[in-house]
Chains A and B, each alone.
Chain A
Amino acid sequence: ETGVTQSPTHLIKTRGQQVTLRCSSQSGHNTVSWYQQALGQGPQFIFQYYREEENGRGNFPPRFSGLQFPNYSSELNVNALELDDSALYLCASSPFNTGELFFGEGSRLTVL
């Protein structure tokens, strides 16, 4: 059974740029959630995708957007990067509506 994989693992961007992060869900899971984890804090919910539709969103601005593909993989896009966007971005897959999240190792984004 393949777990959740994310790419890239690390990346550096400058303020104002755009970034795309990718996630492959665990086999058999049809739901993908994205979380932002700032240093020393707990993960914060960004949004969730189910059946290629956004199924819920946290308190993040519209410049955070996502996609889910028919194979349940997903992308997180962030436009107009700000310094405060520097964080670990975590993708988690789950069976629908169970709350049981299985996380990847994350993508560490640094915005300079």
Chain B
Amino acid sequence: AAGVIQSPRHLIKEKRETATLKCYPIPRHDTVYWYQQGPGQDPQFLISFYEKMQSDKGSIPDRFSAQQFSDYHSELNMSSLELGDSALYFCASSFGGIGVNTEAFFGQGTRLTVV
């Protein structure tokens, strides 16, 4: 079965550069969630989208922005990168919006290294 696809899988950027991470949800899924997992840390919820509208916001820095497109894929844009942004960034998707009965499926993540 198709899963959540994230690209790229690995990314190396220098400080103050920008990065764009992409997430392709499972076909027919209309909701996307983004997480950040620092080295040795637990995943932290950043932001979510349902039907191309922001649905929930977590601890996303102001330097980051995200959107969901008409084909339901999502992009996380990160500007003025800092060393502390080095982390594994997960995307998850679900169908049917925000609700307790809709299971979310996680992608393999994009590992961002800022040097």
Do A and B interact with each other, yes or no?
no
Residues of B within 8 A of A (CB): none
Residues of A within 8 A of B (CB): none
